[in-house]
Structure 1
Amino acid sequence: MSTTTVKNALTDSSMMVRRSLKHIIRYPSMTIPLVIGPIIFLLLFVYVFGGTLGAGIGGSGGRGAYVNYVTPGILLLAVAGASTATAVAVCTDMTEGIVARFRTMSIFRPSLLAGHVVGSMVQTFLSVTIVLGVAALVGFRPEAGALGWLGAAAMLALLTFAITWIAVLMGLVSENPEMASNLPMLLMILPFFGSGFVPTDSMPAWLGWIARNQPFTPVMETLRGLLLGTPVGHQAWIAVAWCVGIAAAACWGATTLLNREPGR
Protein backbone atom coordinates (compact mmCIF):
# COMPACT_ATOMS: atom_id res chain seq x y z
CA MET A 1 0.00 0.00 0.00
CA SER A 2 1.50 3.34 -1.10
CA THR A 3 1.90 6.37 1.11
CA THR A 4 -0.82 8.20 -0.83
CA THR A 5 -3.24 5.31 -0.38
CA VAL A 6 -2.59 5.21 3.37
CA LYS A 7 -3.09 8.97 3.60
CA ASN A 8 -6.38 8.78 1.71
CA ALA A 9 -7.55 5.88 3.88
CA LEU A 10 -6.80 7.85 7.06
CA THR A 11 -8.48 10.97 5.68
CA ASP A 12 -11.63 9.07 4.67
CA SER A 13 -11.74 7.21 7.99
CA SER A 14 -11.41 10.42 10.04
CA MET A 15 -14.20 11.96 7.99
CA MET A 16 -16.47 8.99 8.72
CA VAL A 17 -15.59 9.11 12.42
CA ARG A 18 -16.60 12.78 12.55
CA ARG A 19 -19.84 11.90 10.78
CA SER A 20 -20.59 9.19 13.33
CA LEU A 21 -19.80 11.44 16.30
CA LYS A 22 -22.03 14.19 14.90
CA HIS A 23 -24.89 11.68 14.65
CA ILE A 24 -24.38 10.75 18.31
CA ILE A 25 -24.54 14.40 19.35
CA ARG A 26 -27.47 15.17 17.07
CA TYR A 27 -29.57 12.20 18.17
CA PRO A 28 -29.12 11.80 21.95
CA SER A 29 -32.29 9.69 22.02
CA MET A 30 -30.15 6.78 20.80
CA THR A 31 -27.63 7.24 23.64
CA ILE A 32 -29.90 7.89 26.63
CA PRO A 33 -31.56 4.43 26.61
CA LEU A 34 -28.11 2.81 26.49
CA VAL A 35 -27.36 4.45 29.84
CA ILE A 36 -30.76 4.12 31.47
CA GLY A 37 -31.13 0.37 30.81
CA PRO A 38 -27.99 -0.78 32.70
CA ILE A 39 -28.70 1.67 35.52
CA ILE A 40 -32.19 0.24 35.98
CA PHE A 41 -30.77 -3.29 36.13
CA LEU A 42 -28.14 -2.12 38.61
CA LEU A 43 -30.70 -0.55 40.94
CA LEU A 44 -33.05 -3.51 40.57
CA PHE A 45 -30.49 -6.15 41.44
CA VAL A 46 -28.83 -4.15 44.21
CA TYR A 47 -31.90 -2.86 46.04
CA VAL A 48 -34.45 -5.59 45.28
CA PHE A 49 -32.33 -8.76 45.15
CA GLY A 50 -29.04 -7.57 46.65
CA GLY A 51 -29.77 -8.34 50.27
CA THR A 52 -30.67 -11.97 49.53
CA LEU A 53 -28.17 -12.67 46.76
CA GLY A 54 -25.40 -10.95 48.71
CA ALA A 55 -25.76 -13.56 51.46
CA GLY A 56 -24.18 -16.12 49.18
CA ILE A 57 -21.37 -13.99 47.75
CA GLY A 58 -18.09 -14.87 49.38
CA GLY A 59 -19.78 -15.70 52.66
CA SER A 60 -19.76 -12.01 53.63
CA GLY A 61 -23.38 -11.34 52.86
CA GLY A 62 -25.15 -8.07 52.49
CA ARG A 63 -26.02 -5.64 49.78
CA GLY A 64 -22.54 -4.09 49.87
CA ALA A 65 -20.94 -7.37 48.88
CA TYR A 66 -23.41 -7.89 46.08
CA VAL A 67 -22.97 -4.46 44.47
CA ASN A 68 -19.24 -5.19 44.16
CA TYR A 69 -20.00 -8.56 42.64
CA VAL A 70 -22.68 -7.46 40.17
CA THR A 71 -21.09 -4.26 38.83
CA PRO A 72 -18.80 -6.01 36.27
CA GLY A 73 -21.88 -7.79 34.88
CA ILE A 74 -23.75 -4.50 34.63
CA LEU A 75 -20.80 -2.96 32.77
CA LEU A 76 -21.02 -5.75 30.21
CA LEU A 77 -24.75 -5.08 29.85
CA ALA A 78 -23.83 -1.48 29.03
CA VAL A 79 -21.35 -2.64 26.40
CA ALA A 80 -23.80 -5.12 24.88
CA GLY A 81 -26.64 -2.63 24.96
CA ALA A 82 -24.66 -0.05 23.00
CA SER A 83 -24.48 -2.48 20.09
CA THR A 84 -28.15 -1.77 19.33
CA ALA A 85 -27.45 1.81 18.27
CA THR A 86 -24.54 0.65 16.11
CA ALA A 87 -26.55 -2.04 14.34
CA VAL A 88 -29.40 0.40 13.65
CA ALA A 89 -27.02 3.08 12.35
CA VAL A 90 -25.28 0.67 9.97
CA CYS A 91 -28.56 -0.77 8.73
CA THR A 92 -29.96 2.72 8.18
CA ASP A 93 -26.94 3.64 6.06
CA MET A 94 -27.38 0.48 4.01
CA THR A 95 -31.13 0.82 3.46
CA GLU A 96 -31.44 4.57 2.90
CA GLY A 97 -29.01 4.74 -0.03
CA ILE A 98 -26.07 6.56 1.52
CA VAL A 99 -23.80 3.53 1.06
CA ALA A 100 -24.87 3.19 -2.56
CA ARG A 101 -23.87 6.82 -3.06
CA PHE A 102 -20.50 6.24 -1.38
CA ARG A 103 -19.89 3.26 -3.69
CA THR A 104 -19.89 5.64 -6.67
CA MET A 105 -17.24 7.84 -5.05
CA SER A 106 -13.52 7.39 -4.79
CA ILE A 107 -13.54 6.51 -1.12
CA PHE A 108 -11.79 3.93 1.04
CA ARG A 109 -14.68 1.54 1.62
CA PRO A 110 -13.63 0.18 5.04
CA SER A 111 -13.71 3.78 6.30
CA LEU A 112 -17.51 3.51 6.33
CA LEU A 113 -17.30 0.79 8.95
CA ALA A 114 -14.38 2.40 10.78
CA GLY A 115 -16.49 5.48 11.42
CA HIS A 116 -19.25 3.40 12.99
CA VAL A 117 -16.81 1.37 15.08
CA VAL A 118 -14.92 4.34 16.53
CA GLY A 119 -18.09 6.34 17.11
CA SER A 120 -19.73 3.41 18.86
CA MET A 121 -16.72 2.86 21.09
CA VAL A 122 -16.82 6.51 22.19
CA GLN A 123 -20.55 6.22 22.84
CA THR A 124 -20.07 2.98 24.78
CA PHE A 125 -17.30 4.35 26.99
CA LEU A 126 -19.49 7.35 27.81
CA SER A 127 -22.25 4.96 28.86
CA VAL A 128 -19.87 2.78 30.89
CA THR A 129 -18.44 5.83 32.69
CA ILE A 130 -21.91 6.99 33.73
CA VAL A 131 -22.88 3.50 34.89
CA LEU A 132 -19.68 3.28 36.94
CA GLY A 133 -20.51 6.61 38.56
CA VAL A 134 -23.98 5.39 39.55
CA ALA A 135 -22.49 2.12 40.83
CA ALA A 136 -20.15 4.13 43.07
CA LEU A 137 -23.13 6.07 44.41
CA VAL A 138 -24.93 2.86 45.41
CA GLY A 139 -21.90 1.32 47.11
CA PHE A 140 -19.41 -0.03 44.56
CA ARG A 141 -15.99 0.12 46.20
CA PRO A 142 -13.17 -1.06 43.91
CA GLU A 143 -9.73 -1.69 45.39
CA ALA A 144 -7.79 -1.25 42.14
CA GLY A 145 -4.76 0.96 41.79
CA ALA A 146 -3.71 2.76 38.64
CA LEU A 147 -2.56 -0.43 36.89
CA GLY A 148 -5.76 -2.22 37.82
CA TRP A 149 -7.89 0.54 36.35
CA LEU A 150 -5.76 0.64 33.20
CA GLY A 151 -6.11 -3.12 32.82
CA ALA A 152 -9.88 -2.94 33.34
CA ALA A 153 -10.17 -0.11 30.80
CA ALA A 154 -8.12 -2.10 28.27
CA MET A 155 -10.29 -5.18 28.83
CA LEU A 156 -13.47 -3.17 28.34
CA ALA A 157 -12.03 -1.50 25.23
CA LEU A 158 -11.12 -4.86 23.70
CA LEU A 159 -14.56 -6.27 24.47
CA THR A 160 -16.25 -3.14 23.11
CA PHE A 161 -14.22 -3.44 19.92
CA ALA A 162 -15.33 -7.05 19.46
CA ILE A 163 -18.99 -6.39 20.29
CA THR A 164 -19.06 -3.35 18.02
CA TRP A 165 -17.88 -5.38 15.05
CA ILE A 166 -20.60 -7.94 15.77
CA ALA A 167 -23.12 -5.08 15.81
CA VAL A 168 -21.78 -3.79 12.49
CA LEU A 169 -22.18 -7.25 11.00
CA MET A 170 -25.73 -7.48 12.37
CA GLY A 171 -26.55 -4.12 10.82
CA LEU A 172 -25.26 -5.27 7.44
CA VAL A 173 -27.31 -8.48 7.42
CA SER A 174 -30.51 -6.82 8.67
CA GLU A 175 -33.23 -6.05 6.15
CA ASN A 176 -34.54 -3.03 8.06
CA PRO A 177 -33.72 -0.96 11.21
CA GLU A 178 -36.38 -2.81 13.21
CA MET A 179 -34.62 -6.11 12.61
CA ALA A 180 -31.28 -4.45 13.40
CA SER A 181 -32.60 -3.23 16.75
CA ASN A 182 -33.72 -6.73 17.75
CA LEU A 183 -30.67 -8.82 16.83
CA PRO A 184 -28.32 -7.35 19.50
CA MET A 185 -30.75 -8.43 22.21
CA LEU A 186 -29.05 -11.82 21.97
CA LEU A 187 -25.84 -10.22 23.25
CA MET A 188 -27.60 -8.76 26.29
CA ILE A 189 -28.76 -12.19 27.40
CA LEU A 190 -25.25 -13.62 27.74
CA PRO A 191 -24.26 -11.84 30.99
CA PHE A 192 -27.33 -13.37 32.66
CA PHE A 193 -26.22 -16.83 31.58
CA GLY A 194 -22.72 -16.26 32.89
CA SER A 195 -21.18 -15.19 36.17
CA GLY A 196 -22.58 -11.67 35.91
CA PHE A 197 -25.24 -11.93 38.60
CA VAL A 198 -24.64 -15.19 40.48
CA PRO A 199 -21.62 -17.51 40.69
CA THR A 200 -21.63 -20.28 38.12
CA ASP A 201 -21.20 -22.85 40.93
CA SER A 202 -24.72 -22.09 42.11
CA MET A 203 -26.23 -23.16 38.77
CA PRO A 204 -27.26 -26.67 37.69
CA ALA A 205 -24.27 -28.60 36.35
CA TRP A 206 -25.23 -28.33 32.68
CA LEU A 207 -26.01 -24.61 32.89
CA GLY A 208 -22.87 -23.96 34.93
CA TRP A 209 -20.78 -25.58 32.20
CA ILE A 210 -22.37 -23.31 29.57
CA ALA A 211 -21.90 -20.26 31.79
CA ARG A 212 -18.22 -20.98 32.40
CA ASN A 213 -17.49 -21.54 28.71
CA GLN A 214 -19.24 -18.59 27.11
CA PRO A 215 -17.33 -15.43 26.09
CA PHE A 216 -18.62 -12.98 28.72
CA THR A 217 -17.77 -14.98 31.84
CA PRO A 218 -13.95 -14.76 31.58
CA VAL A 219 -14.29 -11.04 30.82
CA MET A 220 -16.39 -10.48 33.95
CA GLU A 221 -14.03 -12.55 36.09
CA THR A 222 -11.08 -10.57 34.74
CA LEU A 223 -12.78 -7.28 35.56
CA ARG A 224 -13.54 -8.50 39.09
CA GLY A 225 -9.94 -9.50 39.56
CA LEU A 226 -8.59 -6.19 38.29
CA LEU A 227 -11.05 -3.96 40.14
CA LEU A 228 -11.65 -5.92 43.35
CA GLY A 229 -8.37 -7.75 43.83
CA THR A 230 -9.76 -11.28 43.41
CA PRO A 231 -7.59 -13.89 41.62
CA VAL A 232 -7.63 -13.55 37.85
CA GLY A 233 -5.64 -16.65 36.95
CA HIS A 234 -5.95 -17.76 33.35
CA GLN A 235 -9.28 -15.97 32.86
CA ALA A 236 -7.58 -12.87 31.41
CA TRP A 237 -5.93 -14.82 28.59
CA ILE A 238 -9.17 -16.62 27.81
CA ALA A 239 -11.02 -13.29 27.74
CA VAL A 240 -8.47 -11.75 25.39
CA ALA A 241 -8.59 -14.80 23.10
CA TRP A 242 -12.39 -14.64 22.91
CA CYS A 243 -12.37 -10.92 22.12
CA VAL A 244 -9.64 -11.13 19.48
CA GLY A 245 -11.27 -14.13 17.81
CA ILE A 246 -14.73 -12.56 17.76
CA ALA A 247 -13.41 -9.22 16.49
CA ALA A 248 -11.39 -10.86 13.71
CA ALA A 249 -14.29 -13.04 12.53
CA ALA A 250 -16.86 -10.23 12.67
CA CYS A 251 -14.52 -7.75 10.97
CA TRP A 252 -13.83 -10.18 8.14
CA GLY A 253 -17.54 -10.91 7.70
CA ALA A 254 -18.52 -7.24 7.75
CA THR A 255 -15.87 -6.09 5.27
CA THR A 256 -16.72 -9.00 2.97
CA LEU A 257 -20.41 -8.06 2.96
CA LEU A 258 -19.64 -4.37 2.41
CA ASN A 259 -17.34 -5.09 -0.54
CA ARG A 260 -19.84 -7.38 -2.19
CA GLU A 261 -21.58 -5.63 -5.01
CA PRO A 262 -25.38 -5.25 -4.79
CA GLY A 263 -27.35 -8.12 -6.33
CA ARG A 264 -24.59 -10.68 -5.89
Structure 2
Amino acid sequence: MSTITTTVADSTTMLRRNLLHMVRYPGLTGFVIGIPVILLLLFVYVFGGTLGAGLPGGGPGGAVQNYLAYVLPGILFIGIAGIANGASIGVAMDMTEGIVARFRSMAISRTAVLTGHVLGNTIQGVLVSAILVGVGLLMGLRPTAGPLEWLGIAGLVTLVSFAVSWLGVALGVTAKSVETASNTPMILLLLVFLGSGFVPAASMPGWLQGFAQYQPFTTFIETVRALMFGADPGATAWLALGWAVLLGAVGYVWARALYVKKSVR
Protein backbone atom coordinates (compact mmCIF):
# COMPACT_ATOMS: atom_id res chain seq x y z
CA MET A 1 0.00 0.00 0.00
CA SER A 2 1.08 3.59 -0.59
CA THR A 3 2.11 5.83 2.29
CA ILE A 4 -1.11 7.85 2.02
CA THR A 5 -3.27 4.70 1.99
CA THR A 6 -1.42 3.33 5.02
CA THR A 7 -1.78 6.61 6.91
CA VAL A 8 -5.52 6.74 6.18
CA ALA A 9 -6.01 3.12 7.26
CA ASP A 10 -3.99 3.60 10.46
CA SER A 11 -5.79 6.86 11.28
CA THR A 12 -9.15 5.13 10.81
CA THR A 13 -8.07 2.42 13.24
CA MET A 14 -7.02 5.02 15.80
CA LEU A 15 -10.29 6.89 15.29
CA ARG A 16 -12.18 3.69 16.04
CA ARG A 17 -10.08 3.27 19.19
CA ASN A 18 -10.95 6.78 20.39
CA LEU A 19 -14.65 6.37 19.64
CA LEU A 20 -14.66 3.14 21.65
CA HIS A 21 -13.02 5.02 24.54
CA MET A 22 -15.81 7.61 24.42
CA VAL A 23 -18.44 4.85 24.55
CA ARG A 24 -16.77 2.80 27.29
CA TYR A 25 -15.71 5.78 29.42
CA PRO A 26 -18.51 8.31 28.94
CA GLY A 27 -17.61 10.47 31.93
CA LEU A 28 -15.40 12.94 30.05
CA THR A 29 -17.79 13.12 27.10
CA GLY A 30 -20.69 13.72 29.49
CA PHE A 31 -18.68 16.49 31.16
CA VAL A 32 -17.85 18.14 27.83
CA ILE A 33 -21.53 18.07 26.83
CA GLY A 34 -23.06 18.76 30.24
CA ILE A 35 -21.10 21.89 31.17
CA PRO A 36 -22.16 23.95 28.11
CA VAL A 37 -25.80 22.90 28.57
CA ILE A 38 -25.69 23.96 32.23
CA LEU A 39 -24.04 27.27 31.26
CA LEU A 40 -26.75 27.89 28.67
CA LEU A 41 -29.51 27.30 31.21
CA LEU A 42 -27.72 29.39 33.82
CA PHE A 43 -26.99 32.41 31.65
CA VAL A 44 -30.40 32.47 30.00
CA TYR A 45 -32.67 31.86 33.00
CA VAL A 46 -30.58 33.51 35.73
CA PHE A 47 -28.80 36.36 33.96
CA GLY A 48 -30.82 36.60 30.75
CA GLY A 49 -33.43 39.07 32.00
CA THR A 50 -30.80 41.65 32.96
CA LEU A 51 -28.26 41.04 30.21
CA GLY A 52 -30.94 40.71 27.52
CA ALA A 53 -32.46 44.04 28.46
CA GLY A 54 -29.13 45.71 27.78
CA LEU A 55 -28.68 44.33 24.27
CA PRO A 56 -28.90 46.88 21.45
CA GLY A 57 -31.92 46.65 19.18
CA GLY A 58 -34.07 44.41 21.33
CA GLY A 59 -36.66 42.18 19.69
CA PRO A 60 -40.17 40.80 19.97
CA GLY A 61 -39.29 37.89 22.23
CA GLY A 62 -38.55 39.74 25.45
CA ALA A 63 -35.24 40.12 27.26
CA VAL A 64 -34.74 36.44 28.11
CA GLN A 65 -35.47 35.18 24.60
CA ASN A 66 -33.34 37.94 23.10
CA TYR A 67 -30.45 36.90 25.28
CA LEU A 68 -30.96 33.23 24.39
CA ALA A 69 -30.55 34.13 20.72
CA TYR A 70 -27.48 36.21 21.53
CA VAL A 71 -25.67 33.86 23.90
CA LEU A 72 -26.22 30.50 22.20
CA PRO A 73 -23.36 30.94 19.68
CA GLY A 74 -21.04 31.89 22.54
CA ILE A 75 -22.00 28.81 24.58
CA LEU A 76 -21.64 26.72 21.43
CA PHE A 77 -17.99 27.71 21.18
CA ILE A 78 -17.53 27.12 24.90
CA GLY A 79 -18.41 23.52 24.08
CA ILE A 80 -16.02 23.44 21.13
CA ALA A 81 -13.20 24.98 23.17
CA GLY A 82 -13.87 22.33 25.81
CA ILE A 83 -13.03 19.48 23.44
CA ALA A 84 -9.42 20.71 23.40
CA ASN A 85 -9.28 19.69 27.03
CA GLY A 86 -10.38 16.14 26.18
CA ALA A 87 -7.91 15.94 23.29
CA SER A 88 -5.07 17.17 25.48
CA ILE A 89 -5.87 14.73 28.29
CA GLY A 90 -6.26 11.78 25.91
CA VAL A 91 -2.90 12.37 24.21
CA ALA A 92 -1.15 13.01 27.53
CA MET A 93 -2.47 9.69 28.86
CA ASP A 94 -1.17 7.90 25.77
CA MET A 95 2.22 9.60 26.12
CA THR A 96 2.63 8.87 29.84
CA GLU A 97 1.06 5.41 30.20
CA GLY A 98 3.24 3.53 27.73
CA ILE A 99 0.82 2.90 24.88
CA VAL A 100 2.78 5.16 22.53
CA ALA A 101 5.90 3.06 23.20
CA ARG A 102 3.94 0.02 22.03
CA PHE A 103 2.76 1.83 18.93
CA ARG A 104 6.36 2.72 18.08
CA SER A 105 7.20 -0.99 17.81
CA MET A 106 4.36 -1.52 15.32
CA ALA A 107 4.36 -0.76 11.60
CA ILE A 108 1.88 2.13 11.79
CA SER A 109 2.02 5.74 10.70
CA ARG A 110 3.59 7.93 13.36
CA THR A 111 0.94 10.62 13.16
CA ALA A 112 -2.01 8.20 13.03
CA VAL A 113 -2.23 8.21 16.83
CA LEU A 114 -2.62 11.99 16.86
CA THR A 115 -4.99 12.02 13.89
CA GLY A 116 -7.24 9.50 15.61
CA HIS A 117 -7.55 11.79 18.62
CA VAL A 118 -8.23 14.81 16.41
CA LEU A 119 -10.96 13.12 14.36
CA GLY A 120 -12.60 11.66 17.46
CA ASN A 121 -12.69 15.03 19.19
CA THR A 122 -13.91 16.77 16.05
CA ILE A 123 -16.88 14.40 16.01
CA GLN A 124 -17.42 15.19 19.68
CA GLY A 125 -17.38 18.93 18.94
CA VAL A 126 -20.02 18.57 16.24
CA LEU A 127 -22.13 16.43 18.58
CA VAL A 128 -21.89 18.99 21.39
CA SER A 129 -22.93 21.75 18.99
CA ALA A 130 -25.93 19.81 17.70
CA ILE A 131 -27.09 19.07 21.25
CA LEU A 132 -26.76 22.73 22.26
CA VAL A 133 -28.80 23.88 19.27
CA GLY A 134 -31.43 21.26 20.16
CA VAL A 135 -31.58 22.47 23.75
CA GLY A 136 -31.83 26.05 22.50
CA LEU A 137 -34.81 25.13 20.32
CA LEU A 138 -36.51 23.53 23.31
CA MET A 139 -35.92 26.75 25.25
CA GLY A 140 -37.67 28.79 22.58
CA LEU A 141 -34.87 29.70 20.17
CA ARG A 142 -36.29 30.55 16.75
CA PRO A 143 -33.47 30.92 14.21
CA THR A 144 -34.28 32.17 10.73
CA ALA A 145 -31.39 30.44 8.94
CA GLY A 146 -32.12 28.63 5.69
CA PRO A 147 -30.47 25.43 4.43
CA LEU A 148 -27.40 27.24 3.06
CA GLU A 149 -26.89 29.14 6.30
CA TRP A 150 -27.15 25.93 8.34
CA LEU A 151 -24.66 24.30 5.99
CA GLY A 152 -22.31 27.23 6.56
CA ILE A 153 -22.73 26.93 10.33
CA ALA A 154 -22.06 23.19 10.22
CA GLY A 155 -18.97 23.73 8.07
CA LEU A 156 -17.52 26.38 10.37
CA VAL A 157 -18.28 24.35 13.50
CA THR A 158 -16.55 21.31 12.01
CA LEU A 159 -13.53 23.31 10.86
CA VAL A 160 -13.10 25.05 14.22
CA SER A 161 -13.55 21.75 16.07
CA PHE A 162 -10.83 20.24 13.87
CA ALA A 163 -8.48 23.19 14.47
CA VAL A 164 -9.10 23.29 18.23
CA SER A 165 -8.54 19.53 18.44
CA TRP A 166 -5.09 19.89 16.85
CA LEU A 167 -4.23 22.61 19.36
CA GLY A 168 -5.42 20.38 22.19
CA VAL A 169 -3.36 17.48 20.87
CA ALA A 170 -0.28 19.70 20.66
CA LEU A 171 -0.77 20.80 24.26
CA GLY A 172 -1.18 17.16 25.28
CA VAL A 173 2.08 16.14 23.61
CA THR A 174 3.83 19.07 25.28
CA ALA A 175 2.48 18.32 28.75
CA LYS A 176 4.67 16.39 31.19
CA SER A 177 1.67 15.01 33.07
CA VAL A 178 -2.05 14.45 32.64
CA GLU A 179 -2.72 17.11 35.27
CA THR A 180 -0.83 19.72 33.25
CA ALA A 181 -2.63 18.61 30.09
CA SER A 182 -5.99 19.22 31.75
CA ASN A 183 -5.13 22.82 32.62
CA THR A 184 -3.33 24.37 29.66
CA PRO A 185 -6.31 24.30 27.19
CA MET A 186 -8.25 26.58 29.56
CA ILE A 187 -6.79 29.54 27.65
CA LEU A 188 -9.22 28.73 24.82
CA LEU A 189 -12.20 28.96 27.19
CA LEU A 190 -10.88 32.29 28.44
CA LEU A 191 -10.85 33.62 24.87
CA VAL A 192 -14.58 32.93 24.57
CA PHE A 193 -15.26 35.01 27.68
CA LEU A 194 -12.95 37.78 26.41
CA GLY A 195 -14.89 37.96 23.15
CA SER A 196 -18.46 38.74 22.19
CA GLY A 197 -19.88 35.43 23.44
CA PHE A 198 -21.76 36.87 26.40
CA VAL A 199 -21.81 40.65 25.92
CA PRO A 200 -21.06 42.87 22.91
CA ALA A 201 -17.39 43.80 22.51
CA ALA A 202 -18.46 47.45 22.31
CA SER A 203 -19.56 47.31 25.96
CA MET A 204 -16.04 46.45 27.15
CA PRO A 205 -13.38 48.96 28.23
CA GLY A 206 -11.68 50.70 25.32
CA TRP A 207 -8.32 49.02 25.90
CA LEU A 208 -9.97 45.59 25.60
CA GLN A 209 -12.33 46.25 22.68
CA GLY A 210 -9.74 45.90 19.90
CA PHE A 211 -8.56 42.53 21.16
CA ALA A 212 -12.10 41.30 21.84
CA GLN A 213 -13.33 42.29 18.39
CA TYR A 214 -10.63 40.61 16.31
CA GLN A 215 -9.53 37.60 18.33
CA PRO A 216 -10.42 34.18 16.84
CA PHE A 217 -13.44 33.23 18.91
CA THR A 218 -15.23 36.53 18.41
CA THR A 219 -15.05 36.03 14.64
CA PHE A 220 -16.36 32.46 15.01
CA ILE A 221 -19.19 33.56 17.28
CA GLU A 222 -20.23 36.56 15.18
CA THR A 223 -20.23 34.48 11.99
CA VAL A 224 -22.50 31.82 13.49
CA ARG A 225 -24.70 34.46 15.08
CA ALA A 226 -25.17 36.22 11.73
CA LEU A 227 -25.83 33.02 9.79
CA MET A 228 -28.25 31.70 12.38
CA PHE A 229 -30.46 34.77 12.16
CA GLY A 230 -30.29 35.56 8.47
CA ALA A 231 -27.70 38.35 8.52
CA ASP A 232 -24.71 38.69 6.23
CA PRO A 233 -21.49 38.05 8.21
CA GLY A 234 -19.49 39.85 5.54
CA ALA A 235 -15.75 40.08 6.08
CA THR A 236 -16.12 38.50 9.54
CA ALA A 237 -16.78 35.11 7.91
CA TRP A 238 -13.54 35.30 5.92
CA LEU A 239 -11.65 36.36 9.03
CA ALA A 240 -13.17 33.41 10.90
CA LEU A 241 -12.11 30.99 8.17
CA GLY A 242 -8.61 32.45 8.18
CA TRP A 243 -8.29 32.10 11.95
CA ALA A 244 -9.57 28.50 11.86
CA VAL A 245 -7.10 27.49 9.13
CA LEU A 246 -4.23 29.25 10.92
CA LEU A 247 -5.00 27.67 14.30
CA GLY A 248 -5.36 24.23 12.74
CA ALA A 249 -2.09 24.57 10.82
CA VAL A 250 -0.19 25.77 13.90
CA GLY A 251 -1.63 22.94 15.99
CA TYR A 252 -0.82 20.30 13.36
CA VAL A 253 2.78 21.43 12.77
CA TRP A 254 3.43 21.87 16.48
CA ALA A 255 1.89 18.53 17.49
CA ARG A 256 3.55 16.54 14.70
CA ALA A 257 7.01 18.03 15.30
CA LEU A 258 6.89 17.33 19.06
CA TYR A 259 5.45 13.84 18.59
CA VAL A 260 8.07 12.82 16.02
CA LYS A 261 10.81 14.27 18.23
CA LYS A 262 9.62 12.28 21.25
CA SER A 263 9.13 9.14 19.16
CA VAL A 264 12.80 8.94 18.21
CA ARG A 265 14.08 9.10 21.74
Would you say the 8 A contact 1:9–1:111 is kept in 2?
yes
- 2:183: which partner in 1? 182
Structure 1 residues 85 and 261: alpha-carbon distance in aligned structure 2, compared to 1, 3 A threshold: closer
Would you say the 8 A contact 1:148–1:226 is kept in 2?
yes
- 2:7: which partner in 1? 9
The root-mean-square deviation of aligned C-alpha atoms, in Å, is 1.3
Work out the CA distance in 2 between the residues paired with 1:41 and 1:97. Answer: 36
Residue range with higher mean Cα deviation, 56-65 or 108-117: 56-65
Secondary structure of 2:2's aligned partner: helix
Instruction: For 1:66, give the aligned amino acid.
Output: Y
- 2:247: which partner in 1? 246
TM-score normalized by the length of structure 1: 0.96
Q: Deviations over 1:111-164 (max 9, x none)?
A: 111100111111222222111111111122110010010000001111111100
Would you say the 8 A contact 2:159–2:244 is kept in 1?
yes
Instruction: For 1:44, give the aligned amino acid.
Output: L
- 2:18: which partner in 1? 20
Instruction: For 1:198, give the aligned amino acid.
Output: V
Secondary structure of 1:65's aligned partner: helix
Instruction: For 1:217, give the aligned amino acid.
Output: T
Structure 1 residues 118 and 262: alpha-carbon distance in aligned structure 2, compared to 1, 3 A threshold: closer
Work out the CA distance in 2 between the residues paired with 1:83 and 1:140. Answer: 27
Runs of 4+, deviation exceeding 3 Å: 261-264
Question: 1:49 Cα shift?
Answer: 1.1
Instruction: For 1:77, give the aligned amino acid.
Output: I
Pair 1:235 & 2:233 matched: no
Q: Which runs of 5+ in 2 are unaligned?
A: none
Would you say the 8 A contact 1:24–1:123 is kept in 2?
no
Residue range with higher mean Cα deviation, 72-81 or 181-190: 181-190
TM-score normalized by the length of structure 2: 0.95
Instruction: For 1:35, give the aligned amino acid.
Output: I
Work out the CA distance in 2 between the residues paired with 1:223 and 1:263. Answer: 42
- 2:73: which partner in 1? 72
Work out the CA distance in 2 between the residues paired with 1:205 and 1:139. Answer: 34
- 2:35: which partner in 1? 37
Would you say the 8 A contact 2:125–2:158 is kept in 1?
no
Work out the CA distance in 1 between the residues paired with 2:10 and 2:83. Answer: 24
Would you say the 8 A contact 1:152–1:227 is kept in 2?
yes
Q: Which runs of 5+ in 1 are unaligned?
A: none
Task: Count residues with an aligned counterpart.
Answer: 262
Instruction: For 1:41, give the aligned amino acid.
Output: L
Q: Deviations over 1:16-66 (max 9, x none)?
A: 111111111110001011111111111111111111111122331511111
Question: 1:184 Cα shift?
Answer: 1.3
Work out the CA distance in 1 between the residues paired with 2:2 and 2:156. Answer: 34
Question: 1:230 Cα shift?
Answer: 2.6
Work out the CA distance in 2 between the residues paired with 1:190 and 1:224. Answer: 17
Work out the CA distance in 2 between the residues paired with 1:21 and 1:262. Answer: 24
Would you say the 8 A contact 2:11–2:112 is kept in 1?
yes
Residue range with higher mean Cα deviation, 114-123 or 4-13: 4-13
